[in-house]
Structure 1
């Protein structure tokens, strides 16, 4: 079957799928992907909203004889693909194909750790014990051990780290429950499947050799397809780097204390070493500000009190390693603890050597914990080398990969050099469906009056957009919280504010409301699909340049400067353009959608680089007159 004929008005898909609509761009994309798979090429495709890119890559993969991996941006998209889109198309085109869903190990119940938690439940809080009861009930009926099935628990329930494993604490083949392990079963199913659905974090965790088992899959596939590929450079940087968190060290110490109390009661030194480490970790947290923050570790480490606290952690971690070394062979969990502690000590010492070049050294804190990071500034050599050596076809697709029609920023970051590109415009009629407004007379984004001006724009929009929904997208949590607090006093409309519940629940409530107001930051700029009247207006507070004090950005800017490049043009601008395209893409999601995009940043029209942003946005009519935008909204008929 020729791939092009599949997407025709009288083609196979139109006959089997009642709601199928032929789209020329979709056919072009599918044909290019089929060629790339057959010829084992590298293909980069920007397929704008409405192209139908999911079917465009699924169909050629299913019809080929290739074994393939599809990697998505988030677990939510991964599950949508596996449970909805892939079964629909597989049943229509290739019912004999076997598909599998593979998640990271933290998504699967660990039978061994569940047994440990139950055995030591008297040491848990009453709240944790109740959660453990719910987990045990579910464990008796689950087939796949996917903890996402436990609907009664929140996504961040306290009990989850107690009943799942990490790379650090997994016993592997030494585990007494290895034969019943849900993760092992999931990986076995993936090895036997024709199409495996993963997410980017899992893919790179394996590529960076930070996990075991999944590495058997990548060499065995003929094709790798990345959806939401614009996320890859940053995710790759995370996984090709190193990190140690006080949470990891604390969990290790606490697990060893439990081991002392239950299995090796004569090993008093183990309890003493664990207590010393826990004490030094508490002191370690106190040398950082109480409020959560991110910062430059290379600079922060120059403070005497920080050096002293870090050295104390290293000293007590070394003591723990020595105690565990002397007890090797006594218990499997002790041996595993020795390997983990030794690995942590090596990383900790490595992260104190901040004079090495080619890396960004940074830290991030929560109210209780600190994580130190070493992130490579350039992953092109490592990732690009992997592509060349694999001999597979690699397809990268997203609605936002190019700056204008230039893909160089994306491909250079990943070291993709033998590539072909395709840039497909949206089939939507933006000239009729949408309007872009950059209101006149607004303050500059950094000026104190900006919050009040933004509130004025929002309230005027809500006054006319009575029957439709509104997104307000922010570049900072601080501005979001400030506007949300004041807006609650100015409108009776229901507000859905990021952070007050889970993202999924917030979106469901917003859509159900019909005319709600959602206020969100980065996670709502992409991967959100709201169609119809539920979303008629998207307001963006300012151009999404990354914060200048963001450590990784600082390091990349400095690196570009040292290489004689323009940091703004090479690093900051392309990243911001792609982010704005993502945010703007929330507005029109269907042929019948209508709406207004309002960007409250004068720089879009007053700065020379504004033209680069505008050239990357859909070709919709533009206005500087807010009243014209309000009139557009006011005349929209309910669908």
Structure 2
């Protein structure tokens, strides 16, 4: 295809998609986005494209990508989206265009079965309980027939099974070319396929792990790309922060000590040298975690330094880790496993020293606690600089797309976070008729969200709406505490099945919710996005509060202070825009199809009592608004009623 040929025509009324795909509806918004993507790839430009729900943005970037003649990396927010793109959307587009191109799907190494570690686990013959024993048998059977080794193929072993970490590898414990199973390695095959492909589908975790840290080891795949297309790009600022951070966890330290001891099995005399320092590391990790017990779950590093017993425990850990590193250095030439353990120990030791000592103005140092562990981090205050450097290095087109990137039609907040100086921008509206399909209900009389009985009052206001809709609702909460309280309050007061986040894996809850037809699903953070329930099973979305980020996040605190010093109002310059984008994600669960109808219930009174509330309301799709419960009832009974 030549540059002046119009991709929009291919997606138009007379084009091949309309002819060949059942249910394909030509959309002007999709066509204008396809043109913008085509232009960005050809000119190696940076484009921010917000495409409202139902635009068909996947086809809008896949069509120009496949026709560009360039090598393209497409990155998505989650592995589930990655699979949907690779197994469902790409084959359709490729077939309609009759494109003879090579495609590849690439995930992080922990998604692939490691034949060596499976062999080890079987040989060890550990005493597994009945569930794990049957899961291991299922993995062994599957390992004989799988071509890709992608654990997503084996649905019968749940994602959270403790067996997966035992039969997959990490960058630290992979033996590389010295592995006896190297020729059949699924990770190596997947990378080889990606190297030879014209279009590679990755996810943001993998993309940043490689571009930022080079830790996934497929650096040779990415530099050849002429375009990077990042779908669900609203997740990028948060993820980039994780990948440009220096981090170290209790688990990494314990694994290192344990792996060092395991390696002694095959090396004569090693146990006498390694046992003491390895156990000392395990002991120091336990003591440090115990010393941190009285602290809040997360906080700035100076809270650790202010307590003498924590400072002492941290100092001891650095000492014993240095001793273990020295011992491993003396054994490094005796086996590949010891060489590997020594490299890891040196790296962790250096990182721990850097986090503990470096008090740089460019970094925020902080900690977080888990029930049995901890993590220490140094996160850059400003991500714009490393992200800009990363993009410049690639000299490629960068296309960021999502349904939620703008705040009241401005992309300034997103562009500033990513260091995009003068990007091309495009905003295309959803083709859905929100004026007819949806109603925004702002219940009157609710107290300020800080009130102690706020969740109780929200549920009182929600009950008549649930009765009007006969269930069929998502209740989205900004905290798990509110979610638990709401579940308690609804338990005996509604006749419909309740599905509560945490009571079963997310995919199962969603499946059961869809099948129930009249369910009420209660969710927090991860249910605000990426959840797609089209049709009548979902007719109400309730949002309890404006989703402002937790004020006790040490990285956020430091960023807000830095903005203030730079003369920018941190609340209006950062907190409000971030919350607007999160609210748009939650609200986007409601209308997923041209035939959907539903009510969006926004409980937070600040939407109408505070000046900034207008920014939130102006950023949502234009739909009628009401404070009158009767109009909600009328909407569901299909009475003709015009909201004021």
**Residue 501 (1) aligns with residue 510 (2):** no
Report the secondary structure of 2:456's partner residue.
helix
| Aligned 8 A contact 2:209 2:216 in 1 | no
Residue 295 of structure 1: how far off its partner (Å): 2.3
CA distance in 1, matches of 2:83, 2:144: 23
Residue 354 of structure 1: how far off its partner (Å): 5.4
**Residue 444 (1) aligns with residue 445 (2):** no
Report the secondary structure of 2:126's partner residue.
helix
CA distance in 2, matches of 1:129, 1:309: 39
| Aligned 8 A contact 1:292 1:367 in 2 | no
CA distance in 2, matches of 1:109, 1:259: 21
| Aligned 8 A contact 2:49 2:402 in 1 | yes
Residue 531 of structure 1: how far off its partner (Å): 0.9
CA distance in 1, matches of 2:295, 2:358: 24
Deviations 1:469-500 (A, max 9, x none): 10000000110011111211212311111111
Aligned pairs (5 A) from 1:531-570: 531-570=534-573
Aligned pairs (5 A) from 1:275-424: 275-289=279-293, 293-353=297-357, 355-424=359-428
Match in the other structure for 2:123: 119
Match 1:599 to one of 594, 598, 602? 602
Residue 331 of structure 1: how far off its partner (Å): 0.5
Report how many residues are paired.
636
| Aligned 8 A contact 1:187 1:213 in 2 | no
Residue 301 of structure 1: how far off its partner (Å): 3.1
Match in the other structure for 1:184: 188
Residue 570 of structure 1: how far off its partner (Å): 1.3
| Aligned 8 A contact 1:45 1:423 in 2 | yes
Residue 528 of structure 1: how far off its partner (Å): 1.1
Match 1:624 to one of 608, 627, 636? 627
Over the aligned positions, Cα root-mean-square deviation in angstroms equals: 1.8
CA distance in 2, matches of 1:304, 1:634: 66
Change (3 A) 1:508 1:47: same
CA distance in 2, matches of 1:617, 1:143: 45
Residue 168 of structure 1: how far off its partner (Å): 1.7
**Residue 93 (1) aligns with residue 100 (2):** no
Residue 423 of structure 1: how far off its partner (Å): 0.7
Match in the other structure for 1:73: 77
CA distance in 2, matches of 1:375, 1:274: 29
Aligned pairs (5 A) from 1:3-82: 3-82=7-86
CA distance in 1, matches of 2:362, 2:131: 46
Report the secondary structure of 1:532's partner residue.
coil
Match in the other structure for 2:150: 146
Change (3 A) 1:292 1:332: farther
Match in the other structure for 1:608: 611
Greater Cα offset, 188-197 or 205-214: 205-214
| Aligned 8 A contact 1:292 1:366 in 2 | no
| Aligned 8 A contact 1:40 1:391 in 2 | yes
Greater Cα offset, 333-342 or 626-635: 626-635
CA distance in 2, matches of 1:515, 1:26: 33
Residue 129 of structure 1: how far off its partner (Å): 4.7
| Aligned 8 A contact 2:298 2:367 in 1 | yes
Residue 48 of structure 1: how far off its partner (Å): 0.7
Match 2:528 to one of 522, 525, 533? 525
CA distance in 2, matches of 1:79, 1:103: 10
CA distance in 1, matches of 2:523, 2:216: 36
**Residue 577 (1) aligns with residue 580 (2):** yes
Residue 539 of structure 1: how far off its partner (Å): 0.4
Unpaired runs of 5+ residues, structure 1, are: none
| Aligned 8 A contact 1:43 1:396 in 2 | yes
CA distance in 1, matches of 2:383, 2:37: 25
**Residue 255 (1) aligns with residue 259 (2):** yes
Report the secondary structure of 2:200's partner residue.
strand
Deviations 1:172-209 (A, max 9, x none): 23333222211010000011111100000000000112
CA distance in 2, matches of 1:42, 1:213: 26
